[in-house]
Amino acid sequence: MAAQTLDQIVSLCKRRGFIFPGSEIYGGLQGTFDYGPLGVELKNNLKRLWWQHNVYDRDDMEGLDSAILMNRWVWYYSGHEDTFVDPLVDCKLCKGRFRADKLQEASCLKHPKLHPGECEGELTEPRPFNMMFKTQVGPVPDPESFAYLRPETAQGIFINFKNVLDSTGRKLPFGVAQIGKAFRNEVTPRNFVFRTREFEQMEIEYFCRPGEDEAIHEAFIKDHLEWWIKVCGLSPDRLSLYEVPPHELAHYSKRTVDIMYRYPIGTEELEGIANRTDFDLGSHTRDQDKLQITAKVKKNEHSTERLTYFDQASNRHIVPYVIEPSAGVDRGVLAILCEAYDEERLDNGETRVVLRLKPALAPIKVAVLPLKKNEPQIVETAKRIKRMLQEAGEFRTVYDDTAGIGKLYRRQDEIGTPFCVTVDFDTIGRAEDNGLKDTVTVRDRDTMKQERVPIKELYNYIRERIMPKKG
Ligand SMILES: Nc1ncnc2c1ncn2[C@@H]1O[C@H](COP(=O)(O)OP(=O)(O)OP(=O)(O)O)[C@@H](O)[C@H]1O
């Protein structure tokens, strides 16, 4: 069914501990969120699956974890110092400040149901606003000693191109993947974790020869769209591709295609996949004049390194082209939660909330529940099973006896736990001799069907159903 409103997700996230508003006890800090006990598991699972698919399952990828703080010249030559700006308008009446190109996303401060410009307030002319956060580096407050918090992870990859190439001996084409925090001083952070000031990105910079770029770009679009469907469980009906029209393209981009997801707030960008030509390496390299850079770049007077690749076939140094798939971790988490959310009407007239997460993404894979918590043998057996499953190390298993069994099932449904294992009187051989000793019931989250499984087969039973099948 999927979530109908963002409020359903916001309230589930707070109630069950997926995501909390940032700095809540001090009144909050706009555009920041804290991932709670379940949110951190879900987010880690998403990042792990992405890394698995994009680094481990391929033969042409390396990983990187570069610093958030970088020399300020990085942002000068990347173009962010002068082009990473949004047009801002102020409302003369309500004193609100809004992004001129996103007025439809914003609300008037006086009439929250109206968008700015549609109310009686007059807007000022748009003026540029740089979205990078500045911070001071070192103990002396000197106007020259500042750094930016990176607004994207990508630049850390470009400036390490030569290091990665020299240390790995890679041949073109190859890519570098990175997952990490990015910061943007968004004018109107909104829609929960969709647009925040601190967020995470999963990015690839894939280096190739000019001429190969178009086919590689196309292959990434297809592969990543399929990944969101197959691995993350997003419905193909709610996903679409947006071919960014020429007049909206960033100046360096030859072509950009966005993977869009239909959130309850509307269809919005989940991942952007851009062909950035030789702009990035061309911008950060020295000896620009000696290289045939096709993109329009600033004259670089500070770089100490040639960011080129020696192409044996043509016997010359080339500046590789770059294909960049860039996805938001938080927008991924939000899409996954919206997609998985379901309210199901039960035969007894009650409604159960269930998160139909792909098992590989579920924060908790198995909950082991004792039917009675004042029966020492049942409790002991349940705890032993919990330890046995957890010690296998692959999936997070919890023991819970804090409520009656019905309530415990409902709680696990709501957080997306695919399997509940219940230890009862049959398990410990206390009921009549019915052949069920040393077996447990395994309840499936989606169908609510229960199966009797011998304890010694339990690990394999669950493992088979949790690990994503390849192909
Ligand atoms: N403020 C933000 N909060 C959360 N995720 C973000 C934010 N800005 C960008 N992202 C994520 O990073 C990815 C790559 O960033 P990119 O610069 O292409 O975004 P963008 O085109 O500026 O996004 P938008 O147009 O929505 O502001 C986006 O597809 C998105 O998933």
The alpha carbon of 329 and the centre of ligand 1 are apart by a number of angstroms equal to: 10
Distance from residue 328's CA to the centre of ligand 1 (Å): 6
Q: Which residue lies with its CA nearest to atom 3 of ligand 1?
A: 195
Pocket test for ligand 1, best of 331, 333, 334, 336 (most atoms within 8 A of CB): 331
Ligand 1 centroid distance, CA of 404 (Å): 44
| HEC string for the chain | CCCCCHHHHHHHHHHHCCEEECCHHHCCCCCCEEECHHHHHHHHHHHHHHHHHHHHCCCCEEECCCCCECCHHHHHHCCHHHHCEEEEEEECCCCCEEEHHHHHHCCCCCCCCCCCCCCCCCECCCEEEECCCEEECCCCCCCCCEEEECCCCHHHHHCCHHHHHHHHCCCCCEEEEEEEEEECCCCCCECCCCECCEEEEEEEEEEECCCCHHHHHHHHHHHHHHHHHHCCCCCHHHEEEEECCHHHCCCCCCEEEEEEEEECCEEEEEEEEEEEECHHHHHHCCCHHHCCCCCCCCCCCCCCCCCCEEECCCCEEECCEEEEEEEEHHHHHHHHHHHHEEEEECCCCCEEEEECCCCCCCCCCEEEEECCCCCHHHHHHHHHHHHHHHHCCCCCEEECCCCCHHHHHHHHHHHCCCEEEEECCCCCCCCCCCCCCCEEEEEECCCCCEEEEEHHHHHHHHHHHHCCCCC
Q: Residue 470: its pLDDT value, please? A: 55
Was 243 annotated as part of a binding site? no
Q: Is 81 annotated as a binding residue?
A: no
Could you tell me the fold of the domain covering 6-70+152-336? Answer: BirA Bifunctional Protein; domain 2 (3.30.930)
Residue ranges covered by each domain of the chain: 6-70+152-336, 364-466
Q: Which residues line ligand 1 (CB under 6 A)?
A: 184, 186, 195-196, 199, 201, 269-272, 326-328, 330-331
**308 is an annotated ligand-binding site residue:** no
Angle between helices 455-466 and 376-391 (to 10 degrees): 40
Q: What angle do CA 425, 430, 433 make, to 5 degrees?
A: 110
Cα 397 from Cα 368, distance rounded (Å): 7
Exposure string (b/e) for 257-283, b if CB count within 10 Å is 16 or more?
bbbbbbbbbeebbbbbbbbbbbbbbbb
State pTM to two decimals. Answer: 0.92
Q: Residue 298 CB: number of other CB atoms within 10 A?
A: 13
150 is in an annotated binding site: no
- The answer on whether 337 is annotated among ligand-binding residues is no
Name the residue with the closest Cα to ligand 1, atom 27: 195
| Ligand-binding site membership of 198 (annotated) | yes
What was the pLDDT predicted at 467? 76
- For ligand 1, atom 7, name the residue with the nearest CA: 195
Q: ipTM strictly over 0.90?
A: yes
Q: Which atom of ligand 1 is nearest to the CA of 186?
A: 1
pLDDT tens sequence for the chain (471 residues): 899 999 999 999 999 999 999 999 999 999 999 999 999 999 999 999 999 999 999 999 999 999 999 999 999 999 999 877 778 888 888 888 888 888 888 888 888 888 988 888 888 888 777 889 999 998 887 878 899 999 999 999 999 999 999 999 999 999 999 999 999 999 889 999 999 999 999 999 999 999 999 999 999 999 999 999 999 999 999 999 999 999 999 888 999 999 999 999 999 999 999 999 999 999 999 999 999 999 999 999 999 999 999 998 889 999 999 999 999 999 999 999 999 999 999 888 999 999 999 999 999 999 999 999 999 999 999 999 999 999 987 889 999 999 999 999 999 999 999 999 999 999 999 877 788 899 999 999 999 999 999 999 999 999 999 875 654
- The CATH classification number of 364-466 equals 3.40.50.800
194 assigned to a ligand binding site: yes
Q: How far, in Å, from the CA of 234 to the mean position of ligand 1?
A: 19
Hey, whose CA ends up nearest to atom 9 of ligand 1? Answer: 328
State residue 145's pLDDT score: 87
* Residue ID of nearest Cα to ligand 1 atom 8: 195
Distance (angstroms) between ligand 1 centre and the Cα of 112 equals: 25
